[in-house]
Amino acid sequence: MRGEMPTPASRSKPLPSSTAPSRHVYDVIVLGSQLGGALAAVLLARRGYSVLLVEHDGTGPGYEHDGFLLPYAPFITPALKTMPAVEEAFAELSLTPQLQRGQQPHVPELQLVLPRHRVDLHADPARRSAEFLREFGTESERILADLAATIRQHEPSDAFFKEGPPLPPDGMLESWNLKKRLRQHGGLEAEPRLSGTDEPSRLLRGLLPFTIHMDQPGSPLARTRPLSQALQTPWRYPGGRDGLRQLLFDRFTELGGDLLSPDNTDTYVAEELHIEGNRFSALKLLRSDTLYRASCLVSATDAGALRRILTGRKKHRALSEQLDVSTVKSFLFSVNWVVPEAALPRGMGELLLMDTQQEGELSHLLVQLHPARDHQGKEDPALRVVCAGGFVPASIRDLGEGYLQNLALRIDAHLDALMPFTKDKRLLRSAPYLDASAVRGSRLMPHPHYVFDSEAVLGVTGLKQQTPTKNLLLAGREVLPGLGLEGEFLAGIRAARLVQEMLKKKPVLKR
């Protein structure tokens, strides 16, 4: 089927395995390509542990179509200073300067596209005020006050997350300690300030789904902190999520970690997870007879992907039941256009949030402009990639290719309205879910939203990080889905700490 993810067995010619590690026993194996696992792997390597990182579900730095390297979806990153615990971790890894050099603001920072208005949301308060006053007159004063308060709304909870709270808590003792901490931190239950019924306030709230992995968040914290971080300065990072992951991978290999990825081997997909009693014992990969063993396994892949490689699921019912509480509810469906830079409308921003005036799927579109890159990653300054995405129910995957094509055509129609003179000038139109082999039918869906059959602590937690398999930890985006990108990194930071507590190794010299 077109768009199906090719397995190593289906390739006509084997890929080289020149970088397959010579050792087969490690302190830690990290399975999966999600950012929490990548950060955990680098932190553990930095602290002197032997680590094997098996990418398993990686999609690489974009996908190739007709000679262009294209993004899977729009992706924005909040500034490091809005995520204090993450900032400390990147400082430990000496990655802060590199990350800050790579991050760039959009110009303007965000553009709102409404049926009768287009507003530039500048970071500079004076320019922002002039824009809103021009478009909304006297009503703008209240909207601007709510917006200014929203941008600062993450600050009261910063100290709480910097302490590294046990989220989700495991057991009565952790729950009791967490409740003590909650009483010491005000602001965790503050209601969102951006609550108006006016058009710009409703549209700004529409940015929230693009910043989190939880479907229909109901708690104040999940509806305020990620949105506040994103609105303060919605940064871009070269290569998006994949570029950020590559930054961590590069540092990991510099520190002596072993990486199995599609870039260096054909044996990077997990086939079987071996558990003896209630402990992880070994990992077997496709097209390899080698069993990789470790004292701990950190899973940074989706629960469904981990569930599929469990051997003897009936014997490990408790772990299966823990993974079963997570369900994908929706995901980000995107379309890419490659167009000449000169054909773009004057005044069009590099990051746009659109109100499509549709209910349900594709109700809001996030549109992001990227430099066009060829298959080798070389930029063409005369071309731009326009990447537009909106959320659709996960169930549409079962409705057939015709329905998926229709979704892409609906996004095309919105882009036509936004850029009326580019349709006849576009060099390529591509939909990742239809045209990228690593997405459709793959283990890694672009920006999913989850629902959980379990209680969400503070409204932001999902799967417990510790599992019934004593030396198997979770560090994927399902652990803290209500905190978005910060939640992914926090899960990785805590996983690294839990591994250290579990192994109880003597202190090692830092590298």
> Residue 8 pLDDT more than 60?
no
> Residue 441 pLDDT more than 60?
no
| Among 98, 226, 215, CA closest to 483 | 226
Residues 266, 287: contact at Cβ < 8 Å? yes
Phi-psi category of residue 168: left, alpha or beta, with phi > 0 → left and psi -120 to 50 → alpha: beta
Number of domains in the chain: 2
Is 6 a member of any domain?
A: no
Confidence of residue 11 (pLDDT cuts 50, 70, 90): very low
Give 509's contacts (C-beta < 8 A, 6+ positions apart): 48
pLDDT at res. 130: 94
Give 136's contacts (C-beta < 8 A, 6+ positions apart): 117, 143, 198, 200
Give the long-range contacts of residues 255-259, CB within 8 A, separation 24 or more: 255/42, 255/45, 255/46, 255/511, 256/45, 256/511, 257/41, 257/42, 257/45, 257/51, 257/52, 257/53, 258/21, 258/23, 258/26, 258/51, 258/52, 258/53, 259/19, 259/53, 259/55
Distance of alpha carbon 367 from alpha carbon 75, whole angstroms:
10
pLDDT at res. 59: 67
**Domain final position from 435, 464, 485:** 435
pLDDT at res. 223: 96
Extract the tokens encoding 455: 């209680």
Packed helices 140-151 and 220-232: angle between N→C axes, nearest 10 degrees: 100
276 plus 341 within the same structural domain: no
Is 19 a member of any domain?
A: no
**Burial call 385-420: b when 16+ CB within 10 Å, e when fewer:** bbbbbbbbbbebbeeeeeebeebbebbbebbeebbe
* Consecutive H or E run containing 298: strand 291-299
Confidence of residue 12 (pLDDT cuts 50, 70, 90): very low
CA torsion angle 270 272 275 276 (round to 10): -130
Q: Domain with 251 in it: what CATH number?
A: 3.50.50.60
128 plus 226 within the same structural domain: yes
> Residue 474 pLDDT more than 60?
yes
pLDDT > 90 in the chain, percent: 72
224 plus 114 within the same structural domain: yes
- Classify 441 as helix, strand or coil: coil
Confidence of residue 439 (pLDDT cuts 50, 70, 90): low
Quick one: CA dihedral 132, 135, 137, 143, positive or negative? negative
Distance of alpha carbon 494 from alpha carbon 391, whole angstroms:
30
Residues 490, 462: contact at Cβ < 8 Å? no
> Residue 117 pLDDT more than 50?
yes
188 plus 332 within the same structural domain: yes
Extract the tokens encoding 247: 């930054």
Q: Which residue has the higher pLDDT, 281 or 2?
A: 281
> Residue 434 pLDDT more than 80?
yes
313 plus 349 within the same structural domain: no
> Residue 17 pLDDT more than 70?
no
168 plus 316 within the same structural domain: no
pLDDT at res. 506: 54
Distance of alpha carbon 21 from alpha carbon 41, whole angstroms:
16
Is 447 a member of any domain?
A: no
266 plus 119 within the same structural domain: no
Is 471 a member of any domain?
A: yes
Q: Mean pLDDT in the chain? A: 90
Is 444 a member of any domain?
A: no
Q: What is the pLDDT of residues 174-190, one digit of tens each?
A: 999 899 889 888 779 89
205 plus 347 within the same structural domain: yes
Q: Which residue has the higher pLDDT, 63 or 479?
A: 479
Q: What is the pLDDT of residues 486-507, one digit of tens each?
A: 999 999 999 999 999 999 865 4
Q: Domain with 151 in it: what CATH number?
A: 3.90.660
Distance of alpha carbon 354 from alpha carbon 264, whole angstroms:
40
200 plus 264 within the same structural domain: no
pTM of the model: 0.92
212 plus 333 within the same structural domain: yes
Distance of alpha carbon 176 from alpha carbon 484, whole angstroms:
25
Extract the tokens encoding 498: 């839990």
350 plus 423 within the same structural domain: yes
Is 93 a member of any domain?
A: yes
Is 404 a member of any domain?
A: yes
Query: Which domain range does residue 397 map to?
Result: 105-235+328-435
Q: What is the pLDDT of residues 186-242, one digit of tens each?
A: 779 899 999 999 999 999 999 999 999 999 999 999 999 999 999 998 999 888 898
Q: What is the pLDDT of residues 366-422, one digit of tens each?
A: 999 999 999 888 999 999 999 999 999 999 988 988 999 999 999 999 999 999 988
Is 40 a member of any domain?
A: yes
Distance of alpha carbon 34 from alpha carbon 454, whole angstroms:
22
Extract the tokens encoding 135: 């478009």
Residues 384, 370: contact at Cβ < 8 Å? yes
| Among 440, 488, 487, CA closest to 459 | 487
Confidence of residue 15 (pLDDT cuts 50, 70, 90): very low
Distance of alpha carbon 337 from alpha carbon 493, whole angstroms:
37
109 plus 210 within the same structural domain: yes
Q: What is the pLDDT of residues 47-90, one digit of tens each?
A: 999 999 999 887 677 889 999 999 999 999 999 999 999 999 99
DSSP state of 15: P
**Domain final position from 402, 435, 468:** 435
